[in-house]
Structure 1
């Protein structure tokens, strides 16, 4: 990606569409087998992928030190073993992302050459990678993959917010997908692919792979055809709601005094006894269990009253 290429470079990764099921197609597999994609058309997930692609620019532009273009390709549903067979045998970073709440895990997959290019840039190089890739990542390269996982977790969470509140926690990177626990080759996976290109350079691709089983609880939202910002509230409805809220009644009380007596005096009290009290200059005025402010005891129009001398700001927690 770092080295410039032809301006006519294709920016779509070729797939063998004859074997990979298209988006929204219920792949039957063998006769009597379970449906690979129980959702149908995944309109919402495609929309969320487009949202995430826009957030990827903020992740990779600082790492690559140049402006990049990011886009989401059409998603595909296929078995994990087929996805693994589709990828080359070259060095690849397989980074599990724990999806919380719950313990399901997605996968972030990056080409090893791309990781090594970013590592070289991180240490001040030009973004060169070895012509012959190693068989595994160095500790520094593993740290780079973990760093990228942490950086994409935030825009990924933001992209998913319209549908579900997921947090994504990157774990340990693997070079052999067989070492990833709780993931079987026959598991159905939703593959979302994102292109990243700078200038005329050949694009690289980052894949996010979700287990179908982890997204089943969100099936109604995933298949919705309309996803967008909430509509603005109707002004008339908002005015009526405000007017109704302004008419809610709250009890107001004031504590004039809270005398303290010994138990012996309390036991000897009888009708006619006098308990002395002292009223301070400012008495508390309460609304429910909250302190509204303080005031001075007096009269108004022949009735006992309290003149407020200070008001407590509930939103800021200090006296005005």
Structure 2
């Protein structure tokens, strides 16, 4: 009996969760940014059936840290929340669809131009429930591909509810990282949804760099710091705020209005739309600056 207890104690002592050796939220942000870029390339093929067979353009916002309470606070009207599970262990994640984009897609499915009823209904019609089922399957398929397509990373929808309280996907105080996705199609207003991942789900589903990348032999490739490359100007964009706003709200903006925005925990630096580094906002000699934390 004493031997069995000792063996269990040794096993617990080396458990990564107890030692806190898993990736931190700050380490997961750049990994999620890269995952978002892959999702923007894969998801259009899964959404093509909603746009007449033509793959739409998908734009991914910056990863934002949040929790269930902040997600609920950002929703002004009716919304549907879907609990999804990743892998055989059923690691949870959350997809959120606000009513206006869903009803816009339904109107288009019946031959309309994507008109949203005003006022919005208090509950989703049956047609919306059927559309949400197809959307969930499309998103689950795209995420499964992005995660590697292995059985351990298969994503599947579990259940949905209009109330986060009743859905109860995970602890309301748990730290989450959220991606906002906007879908654009020619001739129609864009529509959007969001996906939120608990820290443990992301850590298990995506590869997070834990060690410095080995440098290549300088003789094996051209040196980017040498001419003719060194003086070549390359536009670099620091994305401080990336937000989605409803078209009705956008059309009613006037001087003096205030839009509350959340600055991301980790600011991406992008070249031609691809994230090359992340950092935090600071100040140098009375000028706004970005301190690089990670580079890829």
Is the TM value for this pair above 0.5? yes
* Of 98, 116, 132, the match for 1:111: 98
Residue correspondence of structure 1 range 1-320 to structure 2 within 5 A: 38-42=24-28, 43-65=30-52, 68-85=56-73, 87-161=74-148, 165-199=152-186, 201-217=188-204, 221-223=207-209
Indicate if the aligned counterparts of 1:63 and 1:121 stay in contact, CA closer than 8 A: no
Distance of 2:177 and 2:98 partners within structure 1: 19
**Superposition deviation, residue 218 in structure 1:** 5.7
**Aligned-residue CA RMSD in angstroms?**
2.9
Contact 2:153/2:205 (CA < 8 Å) preserved in 1? no
**How far apart, CA to CA, are the structure 2 residues paired with 1:45 and 1:164?**
20
Long gaps (5+) in structure 2: 1-19, 214-296
Instruction: Give me the TM-score of the superposition, normalised by structure 1.
Output: 0.53
| Contact 2:84-2:159 at 8 Å conserved across structures | no
Q: 1:28 maps to what in 2?
A: none
Q: Which has the higher helix share?
A: 2
Alpha-carbon deviation of 1:173? Answer: 2.2
Tell whether the 8 Å contact from 1:106 to 1:208 is kept in structure 2 after alignment. yes
Cα displacement (A) at 1:149: 0.5
Structure of larger gyration radius: 1
Give 1:11's aligned residue.
none
* TM-score, normalising length: structure 2: 0.57
Contact 1:145-1:173 within 8 A present in 2 as well: no
2: CA distance between counterparts of 1:163 and 1:224?
Answer: 22
Would you say how many aligned residue pairs link Structure 1 and Structure 2? 190
Contact 2:102 2:128 in 1 (8 A): yes
Question: Unaligned stretches of 5+ in structure 1?
Answer: 1-33, 228-320
